[in-house]
Amino acid sequence: MELNLQPLASFCHVTKEPFVAGQRVVSYLLRDPEKPEIMRYDVVESASEGFAPAGVVVCRWVHLYKPRKAGENPERALKLTAETLFLALADSASEPTPENTRLVQFLALMLERKRVLKPKGRTSDGARTIVEHTKTKHLYEIPSGDLNPEFFVQVQAQLSVLVGEPAAPKSME
């Protein structure tokens, strides 16, 4: 799964003020019915309560703003892959929501299958699964959940907003 998105903005979508290094920023991914592509909006956390974007919010996450370094290739950050979405949503600075938790669980399953993540067991209370990102060796705790058919229907609905509805099968007439 790959999506082409805008990179992290250097200013708040709501206040239009530039972000400051270390400032908490809320990033939103949404599908606007008026536009064909997925939109990304970055909003300073203090202004996020009043932010009501048009369209369907697929997910949101909170992170600390880091300005781009001189000479850094912004094109590299334009591609959102399952791995980069997982890393953004599973980051300890990101506040979990039911939608994000579902996506993180699903992406963890998918990335474990691709050997991008390696299972490392469970937390002592059994409420979270520990996985290791094979490239960085960073450990992430993923909420354990009931991966029943309803879970997959909900994830499918979220992903269809992100990547679009699947094409209807062509009839063989």
Cα(150)–Cα(130) distance, integer angstroms:
24
Residue 127's φ and ψ, nearest 5 degrees, are: -80, -15
The 3-state DSSP class for residue 145 equals: coil
Residue 61's contacts (CB-CB under 8 Å, 6 or more residues apart) are 26, 27, 88, 89, 91, 94, 95, 100
Q: What is the pLDDT of residues 113-135, one digit of tens each?
A: 888 899 898 888 988 889 999 89
Q: Which DSSP letter does residue 69 get?
A: P
Enclosing H/E stretch for 79: strand 79-81
Over residues 41-76, the pLDDT tens digits come to 999 999 988 888 888 888 888 888 888 766 555 555
**DSSP state letter for 14:** T
Q: Residue 140: is its pLDDT beyond 80?
A: yes
| Alpha helices per DSSP H over 39-148 | 82-90, 98-113
